[in-house]
Amino acid sequence: MTRIGRTVLDLASLLSDKWLRATIDSALHLRHSNLKWIQHALATHGKGRDGAVRLREALTRYGPGTKIPESVLESFGAGLLEATGNLPQRQWNMLGDDGLFLGRADFAWPEVCLGLELDSWQFHGTPAAFENDRARDVALAEAGWQVLRFTWKRVMSFQTKVIAGCVIDPSDLTRVVSRVWGDGCQPLIVGEPSG
């Protein structure tokens, strides 16, 4: 049986950067201690191996307190959002004016009360989940939050636009996200767009 560290090292020479990141994220989401095993495999078996340099570079983004994406879709979304230069908070607890918990966003810019959810069929594909998401969005809107939702298809289809055109300031975030993600997004404006 091949252990997780060696498997990730072997895959580092075969996967694209985004899939390598998603693989590492998935391993760490299962068990954060897998980071030690990946680092050990790299130190023990990585010298001269294809992909070892890429894996070593990819591992630099994981440190104490790093919030690990909870799905492959979230991993891809994190990579795209990091490329914009406007880093969101991850797995952010959104609170109402009274301090009550209203929901958790995959990504959030709390300074402008904007949350972003990446909706996969696994977590959002049932009728009950669909209804719960909408009810939560209404409660959040009443508390001043806006939630943008994107599916796998949106994240995968518009990645070039996000990276190329989305270097933004938080006060301009809603307008830019709308432009970048295409016609399917009809966000409410949070404040006046700049420029």
What tens digit of pLDDT does each residue of 156-189 get? 876 655 444 333 455 555 444 444 433 333 333 3
Q: Is residue 65 one of the residues assigned to a domain?
A: no
Q: What is the span of the domain harbouring residue 127?
A: 72-181
Beta-carbon contacts of residue 146 (< 8 Å; ≥ 6 apart): 113, 114, 115, 140, 174, 187, 188, 190
Q: Are residues 150 and 90 part of one domain?
A: yes
Q: Is residue 192 one of the residues assigned to a domain?
A: no
Q: Are residues 79 and 156 part of one domain?
A: yes
C-alpha 124/C-alpha 119 separation (Å) is: 6
C-alpha 46/C-alpha 78 separation (Å) is: 27
Question: Structurally, how many domains does the chain consist of?
Answer: 2
Q: Are residues 84 and 52 part of one domain?
A: no
**pLDDT tens digits, 45-79:** 999 899 999 999 999 989 888 889 889 999 988 88
Q: Is residue 191 one of the residues assigned to a domain?
A: no
Q: Are residues 169 and 79 part of one domain?
A: yes
C-alpha 16/C-alpha 19 separation (Å) is: 5
Q: Is residue 190 one of the residues assigned to a domain?
A: no
Q: Are residues 81 and 22 part of one domain?
A: no
pTM over 0.85: no
